[in-house]
Amino acid sequence: MEKAKEYCYKYPRPAYTVDAAIIIKNKILLIRRANNPYRGKWALPGGFVDMDETPEAAAQRELKEETNIDNHQLKQFKTYGAIDRDPRHRTISTVYYYYSQKQEFEPQAGDDAEEAQWFSMDYLPTLAFDHALIIQDLLHFLNLK
């Protein structure tokens, strides 16, 4: 029988994820999810934080893995923790963002993203999870809507 680890708790805990919102001019970068939940739906690049990394490092890693974009200028925006935001289990996500009127990036889908594409803020597709709310909040924060 395996000995219980010191400082481990028997109580359930939420999963922790990060999302990266990259906005250039009037466009936002989205990925088409390759896996469930929401397979085939568009979402912000993001994923689970590994045990050996900071949330900031996880946001950089996920952005690079899913879009092949290296952006070390991400800023922390807000944390989302609605109990039902992920149909798999309780998940809390910290959102990071980058906004520019100038810089351009050419995304290439990778990892668990089928596609990576820029979308006009005026014509967003149906989004996975609570990403429509996140984008709406971020646009308001940046005074873009």
Please tell me the distance from the alpha carbon of residue 2 to that of residue 4, in angstroms, as a whole number: 6
3-state secondary structure of 40: coil
Integer CA distances (angstroms), 132 to 73, 81, 135, in order = 23, 15, 5
**Rounded to the nearest 10 degrees, how much is the dihedral formed by the CA atoms of 20, 23, 28, 31?**
-30
3-state secondary structure of 76: strand
What's the residue count for the chain? 145
Please pick, among 6, 66, 114, 115, the residue that the annotation labels catalytic: 115
- Known catalytic residue: 115? yes
Catalytic sites, residue numbers: 115
